[in-house]
Amino acid sequence: MKKIIISALALVMASSVPVFAQTYRSEAREYRQEQRIHRALRQGELTPREAQRLIQQQRRIDRAQARAGRDGYVTRQERRKIERMQDRASRNIYQKSNNGRGYY
């Protein structure tokens, strides 16, 4: 009985690892982007409204990641969509923090 429980637990753990590996890169990138937003806000490069919109964009990426991983596997299409969203967010962060509208 004990062997069956242990093997079932090992099977569940092994099947959940690929999901974590597939979303780790995008989550790490999202974390870095959030840090860029907060740093730019602290340094006065972003107005509060610009920062709020960028944070909302990050939340949309969060929701897309949650939807993609809901079935237990992130497909190549879903991964590409999330990466495109992150690319767009990165460009927006750069453009907003370098547009000369600061908050001092």
pLDDT digits (tens, 9 = 90+) for 26-63: 788 989 999 999 999 999 999 999 999 999 999 999 99
Tokens in use for 93? Answer: 């962060």
Q: Name the more confident of 10 and 98.
A: 98
Q: How confident is the model at residue 7 (pLDDT cuts 50, 70, 90)?
A: low
